[in-house]
Amino acid sequence: MPGERATAGEPTGESGGRRRLTKIEKRLLILWFALAFVLWNGVYDMRMHDTVRGYLLLTAEASAGLGRGVDMRQYLHRGFVDALAFSTAWSLGVFLAGLATMYTYRRYAPTHPRLERD
């Protein structure tokens, strides 16, 4: 109703009671997402590099008669799953830290005298 006030738990207005992101918050979100993406790519590449290096080492040992060797498909698949999980976990952790930073900024920026809002 037009004259009634919203109570706790009820959305207010079109946005459901949430404020829109300011320019600074949008830029922060983009920067945190970009950082998480770059981190994901770097960690994935390092883990896959280690996997391929391990496979090549085991293959060289097998060629020299010092080991049994491994199946390439199995070994690289295990390394791929490891790289995917490890890089996703790290990048998700960094992105969530960024979101926590943004939440803190949104919460305290309006009351802090040195933080300007758009």
Per-residue pLDDT tens for 44-78?
999 999 999 999 999 999 999 888 889 999 999 99
Q: What is the dihedral of CA 14, 19, 24, 29, to 10 degrees?
A: -80
CA torsion sign for 73, 79, 82, 88 is: negative
- State the pLDDT confidence band at 10, using cuts at 50, 70 and 90: very low
Mean pLDDT in the chain? 84
Residue 36: the pLDDT is 96
Residue type (1 letter), 94: V
- State the pLDDT confidence band at 8, using cuts at 50, 70 and 90: very low
Question: For residue 91, is pLDDT > 90?
Answer: yes
Domain ranges for the chain: 28-108
Question: For residue 9, is pLDDT > 50?
Answer: no
Residue 86: the pLDDT is 97
Angstrom distance (rounded) from CA 76 to CA 80: 6
